[in-house]
Amino acid sequence: MTPRQLLKQVFGHDDFRGPQARIIADVLAGRDVLTIMPTGAGKSICYQLPALIRPGTGIVISPLIALMEDQVQALRAVGVRAATLNSQSADSGRVWRDMADGQLDLLYVSPERALMDGFGALLQRTEIALIAIDEAHCVSQWGHDFRPEYRRLRSLCDALPGVPRIALTATADRETRADIAVQLGIAADRITLSGFDRPNIRYEVAGKDNLRRQLLAFLAGQGGQAGIIYAPTRAATETICGWLTEAGLRARPYHAGLDAGTRSRHQADFVAAEDMVMVATIAFGMGINKPDVRFVAHAGLPKSIESYYQETGRAGRDGDPAVAHLIWGGEDVARLRGFIAAGEGSEAHKASETRRMNALIGFLDTAACRRAALLRYFGEQPPERCGNCDNCLNPPTLVDATEAARKLLSAVYRTGQRFGIGHLTEVLAGKASEKVRKFGHDRSSVFGIGRDWPAEQWRSLGRQLEAIDALERDAQGGGLVLGPAARAILKGEVPIAMKQVTARRATARAGAAAELAASDQPLFETLRALRRQLAAQAGVPPYIVFSDATLRAMAASRPRDLAGMARIPGVGAVKLDSWGAVFLAAINGD
């Protein structure tokens, strides 16, 4: 059976996407590959299909237990003999026996388990089809999720001559890609780069004003769909989750301060739900296999542009429209700078982290297409406008803010470099509040010199000046102080341009069924309800049964028999046998 025939029989897809066919051909020929493909582009197929064709068991090294279990569950649903070995495996003895007897197509294993002496000895006695190293950026000290144990995986691969190794990641700049190849012993000319663009994701950025109000307003536009909110701290995670619960939304917190059982339960709830919001720190989500996440919101800044790309990539893995919404303030920039300065890495590593942080700040600050800025960072040359980010959909107006910046910096200096932007805004606006009068700032030379600008415009300018090092946060009191870039601005040597703050037009939510005719929508909802019922009976998440895209195709084409159902994308042979007849009955009203 050819790879394309097996793709249709097992996974229900008619053809490969992007570079999948070429990568699979390389692995089948025994060649090593490092592949960088966007999340949702089908990286897993690149090792799963060769593992089914090559003799022996495919070994997949994956960093997260939840991800391994998700993958195994999905594979078993299409008839693939898959298992996992990790610290929580209850039937490890049976898995070892099945492996030794050649009864497994794919075995998912954590890097720690893979490096145990007993596992290496088992591989020597067993026919191995390939070794796949998922989330391969973890091997690089330049990557955003460096894990030291990944550095030892090359010796595991080298001990199996003739067994191809395939490393996969969605996120790696040029420096990180080169390091991954060296660390895993993959030749530089064996790197496959398929592009970083996720055209189905709409990118949005907003300055932080009232986080609670902003998040609830954003969620109100998402139609009760499933999504993730990333918070910078454990405390913020709990606080935001409380806000959502009070507003009547289904939400769960996830952070390292929760016990393992609670985290596992909350993740299982989220993966199985179609309308839940997971509020989490970055402890959640690397490689999460939930395809129908419709939005990812950041209530603060990720630590780098790679982290941002990786985290937003958890939205829209099924290819349907999704939203990446980020809310940030100057305090987030100060927090990032503090983390880098306090880190234990070398000066070269800190310089690299600073470069990545500055790229993120440039992305936040741009008035041009955000997708273009993101893709240029990863070495691509995209069109100047994507038509699917906030700046393209609602172009901002740039204003000359040079004089205003001098006024704000002067206000910081004249008030003693100890107050936050709220107090400074009152001084500039000439608002003689009790606090302003208490410190005598109503008699300052800067009192009232900014009456011509609204408060939000001053706050936006403050964020921008923090981003370019003209303002910094005092380590003790948290007030704003002049930064190294302030002097040149005050002397009029550096022009400052900023986006005019206006009431921006709300963009439509990223709906998942825009292409479905209105007459087919009721049947689609009927099929979704049936899917929920069958998933509950099988003890699997709904997307394991069929994806939304597959259900929409069913609703649109309305197959009359099993032969017609088999032609629906996403309906493989095992799923056709398991669920084809019951969905046909629902479609045909039987």
What pLDDT, in 10s, does the model give residues 173-185? 788 888 899 999 9
Half-sphere exposure (CA, 13 Å, Cβ side) for 366? 22
Instruction: Read off the pLDDT of residues 351-381 as tens digits, 9 standing for 90 and up.
Output: 888 888 888 888 888 888 999 989 988 888 8
- For the chain, give every residue range classified as CATH 1.10.150.80: 518-588
With a cut of 60, say whether residue 121 has pLDDT above it.
yes
Pairing type for strands 471-473 and 480-482 reads: antiparallel
With a cut of 70, say whether residue 505 has pLDDT above it.
no
Residue 506 confidence (pLDDT) = 46
Residue 132 confidence (pLDDT) = 96
Instruction: Read off the pLDDT of residues 269-303 as tens digits, 9 standing for 90 and up.
Output: 998 888 999 999 987 766 567 888 999 999 999 98
CB 573 within 8 A of CB 10: yes
CA separation (Å) from 548 to 41, 223, 470, 483, 554?
Answer: 17, 16, 48, 51, 10
Residue 286 confidence (pLDDT) = 60
Rounded mean pLDDT, 424-450: 93
CB 130 within 8 A of CB 27: yes
- For the chain, give every residue range classified as CATH 1.10.10.10: 398-499
Q: How far apart (Å, rounded) are the C-alpha atoms in residues 115 and 75?
A: 25
Query: Average pLDDT over the chain, rounded to whole?
Result: 88
Of 112, 2, 109, 87, which is closest to residue 53 (Cα–Cα)? 2
CATH of the structural domain 398-499, one choice from 3.50.50.60, 1.10.10.10, 3.40.50.970, 3.30.70.3270: 1.10.10.10
With a cut of 90, say whether residue 63 has pLDDT above it.
no
Q: How far apart (Å, rounded) are the C-alpha atoms in residues 560 and 57?
A: 39
CATH of the structural domain 201-393, one choice from 3.40.50.300, 3.90.1150.10, 3.40.630.30, 3.40.50.970: 3.40.50.300
Tell me the CATH number for domain 518-588. 1.10.150.80
Q: What percent of the chain lies above the pLDDT cut of 70?
A: 95
Task: Give me 129's structure tokens.
Answer: 């089809």
Rounded mean pLDDT, 298-318: 89
Rounded mean pLDDT, 2-26: 92
Residue 201 confidence (pLDDT) = 95
**What does residue 251 show for φ and ψ, rounded to 5 degrees?**
-145, 150
Rounded mean pLDDT, 109-124: 87
Residue 475 confidence (pLDDT) = 66
The fold of 3-193 is: Rossmann fold (3.40.50)
- For the chain, give every residue range classified as CATH 3.40.50.300: 3-193, 201-393
Of the candidate ranges 95-99, 401-405, 546-550, the one whose mean pLDDT is the lowest: 95-99
